[in-house]
Amino acid sequence: MRQLLFLILLIFAGRWLIKTIRAADAARVKGANGANGANGANGANGANGATSGGAQAAQARSLAEPIVRCASCGVHAPKSESLFVTGQYFCCAEHARRHAARAAGQR
């Protein structure tokens, strides 16, 4: 019985230790990102700028890319892959040409 209680105590102590270590790491990373962003976000601060750029690149990769709707066919495509012509987004160059021709009154 005593060994079982000791094992349960060890499990709770281990979980508490892991939780505090993770919280300390998160606070350290958050503090480091704030300091690097202020000091070297544009790369002027040597190593801090490189670290900040790497952290910003990792964060940018984790964010979702905006999706836009094609003005011609209605298909949704990533903003980086779509064409922006005359104030509207298109999924391909053919749809942009067709839409421009239709707006000009040509067929």
Q: Are the CB atoms for 69 and 76 separated by under 8 Å?
A: yes
Residue pLDDT tens, the chain, 107 long:
889 999 999 999 999 999 999 988 888 887 776 655 544 444 444 444 445 566 666 666 667 889 999 998 999 999 999 999 889 999 999 999 998 888 777 65
Q: What is the pLDDT of residue 35?
A: 57
Residue 92 CB-half CA count within 13 A: 5
Domain boundaries, given as residue ranges, for the chain: 2-62, 67-104
Token pair for residue 14?
Answer: 């281990």
Query: Cα separation of 46 and 34, whole Å?
Result: 16
Q: Write phi, then psi, for 65 (nearest 5 degrees).
A: -85, 140
Query: Cα separation of 98 and 87, whole Å?
Result: 15
Q: What is the pLDDT of residue 44?
A: 46
